[in-house]
Amino acid sequence: MKGFWSRFCRHKAAVVGLIVVALVLIIALIAPLLYPVSPWKMVQRPFLPPFANPNFPLGTDTLGRNVASGLAYGARVSLLIGTVSTLVALAVGVPIGALAGYFGGWVDDLLMRFTEFFQTVPSFALAIVLVAIFQPSLVSIIIAIAIVGWPPVARLVRGEVMAQRKREYVEAAILAGQSDLTIITRQILPNVVSPIVVLASLMVASAILLESSLSFLGLGDPSVMSWGYMVGAARTVVRQAWWLSVLPGVAILISVLALNLVGEGLAEALDPRSARDAA
């Protein structure tokens, strides 16, 4: 673990990204303490510009709602959807990829054709259709993002498991009489965790972008405040109140960029060649 952190910290941009992600997470967790009033409640006159009132440092929107409160509560929604949808995608993609890579043959063909079925439609278009069918809500958005996100996971895990399947330790486990399930879960998967972790960090960033895009189009959960909703609601008043779309847009940009930097740092820190070089 010490060696991992030392390799990760060598990637300065990744450290900055981790700090930014930690700050966003902290803001999301303490949002109810920072802003006890609902972000949907009118608290001042509409179109109050930033820094015009110390009580509302980021101004107000078209309905007089606190922009800073909306950003804080929007962070909760973005991180929740990004994290949960990624976990669901991993829960689906990892077993499918592991089974396909381990058994090969007709099992591999069947599972990969099933995976390709979900990749024939562009991810964003499929997510729009799914959310529209199930009605916009946090659950439907998470399910839609997970459905479009698990195929890349399955393909990655399949390739990694196929490479590990030929290793001597797997052959030794087979000769020792271990079951296929035991070999997959206790022998192979622990050795392919690194690329999965890296992909998961990038998937969280992609999920945040996808949720923001859906909310921008009016397909977000109408009962929760999100960054995408804030950008979408302000698109008709960009010239009159630029901050209403710029501030949540910057929040999305910074969060996604930070997560991508963390992913790059994890890729470098978990790379065996990087570990050998450090040694």
pLDDT in tens, 166-189: 888 898 988 888 899 999 998 899
Percent of the chain with pLDDT over 70: 96
Q: What is the pLDDT of residue 2?
A: 66
Amino acid 279: pLDDT:
47
pTM (whole model) above 0.85: yes
In sequence order, what are the residues at sequence separation of 6 or more whose Cβ sits closer than 8 angstroms to the Cβ of residue 75?
24, 25, 27, 28, 31, 227, 251, 255
What is the mean pLDDT of the segment spanning 181-203? Answer: 91
d(C-alpha 21, C-alpha 5), whole Å: 17
* Residue whose C-alpha is closest to residue 81's, from 216, 261, 204: 204
* CA–CA gap between residue 151 and residue 86 (Å, rounded): 12
Give the chain's domains with CATH numbers.
2-41+57-278 (1.10.3720.10)
| Tens digits of residue pLDDT in 207-249 | 999 999 999 888 988 888 999 899 988 888 888 899 999 999 9
Residue 272 clears pLDDT 70, i.e. is over it: no
What percent of the chain lies above the pLDDT cut of 90? Answer: 66
Helical segments of the chain, H only: 2-9, 12-29, 31-34, 67-103, 105-119, 123-134, 138-165, 168-175, 180-182, 193-216, 227-233, 243-269, 272-278
Altogether, the residues listed in the chain come to a count of 279
278 pLDDT above the threshold of 70: no
